[in-house]
Amino acid sequence: MQHYMIKRNSQKTTNHVLPTAKLSLQSVEGSARTFLSWKPGTLIYPLPAVMISCGETEEEYNILTVSWVGTICTNPPMCYISIRPERHSYEIIKRTGEFVINLTNEELARATDWCGVRSGKDYNKFAEMKLTPVKAEKINAPIIAEAPLCIECKVKEIIPLGSHDMFISEVVNVQANSKYIDNKTDTFDLAKAKLIAYSHGHYYKLGEEIGRFGWTVRKKKV
């Protein structure tokens, strides 16, 4: 039996569609700058486009593509995914309390999109996209063998928010594809992995590195 908690929220929310913009002017350093005013909406981009794998048995293995995903705590390592209750994977993850976040790259771009627009009720997504399910190490769910990085998660709490329910989860294991490991540093090579991002209905390659954490205050070597 799963021991995660479901917290109810009485507030109702509605889906947001970008409305007709209202024009507003603001003075910035003596010059007029034009801004477009929209209703509140989900415009925090870019985001990862990840494939969520789930299911306790091979017969119910499924893949769901989501971009409502992120880190919420470092120690203990915790993350979230948000899923619409009508999605096929929703009931599987709610029942089992386990899933895998599989990062995606350029090689998986087509599979990433396809798995997000087709339902597991109608297709065996692993078979259709020629992806390989491999049992995870710490949970009873499959990882996607072709993914560059697989993050095994256990659900701690489900929060209904409106169009989506948020699955707050603990990371219990991470599997990195060995072909993307830098042999010299023994670290995951992001550039070699060629991860992709999602922005308002479009998929993009990642660009060149422009800095590293703390580079603005790091002392230069003499």
Confidence of residue 155 (pLDDT cuts 50, 70, 90): very high
Q: Write down the architecture of domain 48-201 according to CATH.
A: Roll (2.30)
Q: What share of the chain is helix, strand, coil (3-state, %, to 5)?
A: 15, 40, 45
Taking only the tens place, the pLDDT of each residue in 165-178 is: 999 999 999 999 99
Helix (H, G, I), strand (E, B) or coil at 183: coil
Quick one: tokens of 38?
């929209």
Q: Which of 115, 63, 117 is nearest to 93 (CA)?
A: 63
Confidence of residue 107 (pLDDT cuts 50, 70, 90): very high
pLDDT above 80 for 116: yes
Q: What value, to the nearest 5°, has the Cα angle with vertex 58 and ends 54 and 64?
A: 30
Predicted pLDDT at 198: 97
Q: Which of 1-10, 52-61, 76-85, 86-95 has the lowest mean pLDDT?
A: 1-10
Helix (H, G, I), strand (E, B) or coil at 38: coil
Q: Which of 29-38, 54-63, 120-129 has the lowest mean pLDDT?
A: 29-38
Measured distance CA(50)–CA(68) in Å, rounded: 9
Predicted pLDDT at 10: 46
Taking only the tens place, the pLDDT of each residue in 1-18 is: 455 555 554 444 444 444
Q: Which residues of 134-161 are buried (b: 16+ CB within 10 A; e: fewer)?
A: eebeebebbbbebbbbbbbbbbbebbbe
Q: Where are the domains of the chain?
A: 48-201
**pLDDT mean across residues, the chain:** 88
Predicted pLDDT at 222: 63
